[in-house]
């Protein structure tokens, strides 16, 4: 006879989400083991507690479960906060646009709307900008310091880059192409793959923030399963050649060509849930005219604002941990350790101080932090180089730079116009091996990165150039078309 209640038995009486299952299961194990309750008696008791959690919040044994049930009930309750309606300013705050001739009018109109928000302080549009949801991708927006706009951070909170540099000659890439390709196949997981793989241990879940809100507790199990996985769309893990052109302490190595690993991904389902949940709450609390409705904000001086801030920052730490898992697995596979690691968020918000001394909240949605001396990575495409950069601290750009080349073609247009043979040809011409990847991520959907970089000479200094050689992305979307090799 089992001495514990299994998840199916608990689910049958209505204990469904992961955080509740954990608490109820743990409690059951000890109470049944020490014979305080029989299984049947405890199930009956749980049913009663679910109906009436308030009656058990001061019960020594069951307070934790009762509180958890109560917090679950209030999670999606409509916020009691005051609904406030705002008008846009009639004047649009001026902002610089880098590479304006290659940026769509859509993206500019979206940025204009952001610069009419009553909470806007400053902004800038990066040379890879294109239209997004709310703030354009490539948009930088500084607001009053107590304001946070979920859609100016983006749905993939802490989408970020991570580069590992190995003290291994780049010749290794040609000599061991097959082996390196196999390592990517064995040690990277995209989309929903790999949720049941063996995990490396990680201290990320020791953070107390995982216990901070009901939503975060509820998402923890999913986050554990997805730790160290990549997403879909433009996410990738790739081996390539890092050509160090400036000797600098940050890159540790002398000028030359080295093996390097570059990854692009974010906070997976965890961050997406935080983002959509608080975007809804922001839209309920902050009513704005139609052209700015997706720029609704939360005030950090409210409970909801504080919760988003905690969730966003935890998503940042989680996304970073995901990259580190990927890099650890692949470093182990090649039997080496990186001598340097460069990384940066490009969908995030930070409390910063402008050059004139004003305290602000800087939202970067598809923009690389480029404060003075701050290291970052600006990827190009599968067939164009990415760049290791050091920020110059340029104040007009709000210490920011582009987060890549930027899209030239929308996903839908790319899927209609680019063919599989065209993609194969361009990869063959450039000597790039691709595992997975759909036509809407083909290199020709992106702007010319060299041109994009030419617009940001005042914003960043290039220290090294990364050329992708073996790329892994999510498999093509099976609903649109198959991948036949």
Partner DNA sequence: ATGTCC
Q: Which residues bind DNA (CB under 7 A)?
A: 155-156, 159, 191-192, 195, 222, 231-235, 266, 268-269, 272, 276, 477
Closer Cβ to DNA, 101 or 198, answer by number: 198
Closer Cβ to DNA, 217 or 235, answer by number: 235
Closer Cβ to DNA, 235 or 392, answer by number: 235
Minimum CB separation from DNA for residue 268, in Å?
Answer: 5
Closer Cβ to DNA, 130 or 392, answer by number: 130
Minimum CB separation from DNA for residue 134, in Å?
Answer: 12
Minimum CB separation from DNA for residue 464, in Å?
Answer: 25
Closer Cβ to DNA, 183 or 235, answer by number: 235
Closer Cβ to DNA, 394 or 440, answer by number: 440
Minimum CB separation from DNA for residue 51, in Å?
Answer: 24
Minimum CB separation from DNA for residue 226, in Å?
Answer: 7
Minimum CB separation from DNA for residue 234, in Å?
Answer: 4
Closer Cβ to DNA, 233 or 468, answer by number: 233
Minimum CB separation from DNA for residue 456, in Å?
Answer: 21
Minimum CB separation from DNA for residue 460, in Å?
Answer: 23
Closer Cβ to DNA, 172 or 348, answer by number: 348
Minimum CB separation from DNA for residue 272, in Å?
Answer: 4
Closer Cβ to DNA, 184 or 315, answer by number: 315
User: How distant is the alpha carbon of residue 111 from its chain centre?
Assistant: 22
């Amino acid at each position: 006879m089992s001495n514990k209640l299994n998840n199916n038995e608990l689910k049958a009486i209505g204990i469904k989400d992961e955080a509740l299952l954990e608490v109820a299961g743990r409690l059951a194990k000890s109470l049944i083991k020490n014979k305080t309750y029989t299984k049947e008696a405890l199930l009956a008791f749980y049913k009663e507690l679910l109906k009436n959690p308030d009656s058990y919040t001061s019960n020594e044994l069951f307070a934790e479960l009762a509180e958890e049930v109560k917090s679950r009930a209030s999670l999606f309750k409509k916020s009691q906060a005051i609904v406030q309606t705002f008008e846009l300013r009639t004047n649009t705050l001026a902002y610089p646009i880098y590479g304006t001739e290659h940026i769509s009018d859509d993206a500019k109109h979206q940025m204009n709307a952001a610069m009419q928000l009553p909470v806007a302080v400053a902004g800038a549009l990066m040379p890879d900008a294109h239209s997004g949801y709310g703030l354009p991708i490539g948009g930088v927006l500084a607001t009053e310091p107590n304001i946070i706009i979920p859609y100016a951070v983006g749905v993939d909170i802490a989408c970020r880059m991570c580069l590992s540099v190995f003290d291994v000659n780049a010749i290794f890439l040609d000599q061991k192409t097959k082996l390196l390709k196999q390592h990517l196949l064995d040690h990277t997981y995209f989309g929903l793959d790999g949720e049941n793989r063996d995990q490396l241990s990680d201290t990320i879940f020791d953070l107390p923030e995982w216990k901070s809100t009901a939503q975060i507790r509820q998402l923890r199990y999913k986050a554990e399963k997805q730790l160290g996985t990549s997403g879909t769309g433009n996410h990738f893990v790739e081996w390539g050649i890092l050509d160090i052109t400036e000797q600098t302490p940050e890159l540790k190595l002398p000028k030359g060509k080295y093996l390097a690993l570059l990854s692009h991904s974010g906070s997976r389902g965890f961050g997406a849930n935080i983002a959509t949940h608080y975007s809804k709450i922001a839209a309920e609390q902050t009513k704005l005219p139609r052209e700015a409705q997706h720029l609704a904000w939360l005030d950090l001086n409210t409970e909801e604002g504080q919760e988003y801030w905690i969730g966003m920052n935890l998503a940042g730490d989680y996304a970073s941990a995901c990259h580190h898992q990927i890099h650890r697995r692949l470093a182990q596979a090649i039997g080496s350790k990186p001598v340097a690691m460069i990384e940066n968020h490009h969908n995030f918000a930070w409390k910063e101080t402008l050059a004139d001394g004003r305290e602000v909240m800087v939202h970067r949605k598809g923009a690389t932090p480029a404060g003075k001396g701050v290291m970052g990575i600006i990827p190009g495409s599968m067939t164009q180089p990415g760049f290791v950069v050091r920020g110059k601290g340029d104040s007009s750009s709000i210490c920011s730079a582009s987060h890549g080349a930027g899209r030239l073609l929308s996903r839908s247009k790319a899927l209609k116009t680019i063919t599989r043979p065209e993609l194969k040809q361009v990869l063959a011409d450039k000597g790039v091996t691709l595992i997975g990847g759909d036509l809407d991520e083909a290199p020709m959907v992106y702007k010319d990165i060299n041109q994009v970089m030419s617009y940001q000479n005042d914003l960043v200094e290039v220290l090294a150039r990364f050329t992708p050689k073996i790329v892994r992305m999510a498999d093509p979307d099976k609903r649109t078309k198959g991948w036949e090799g």
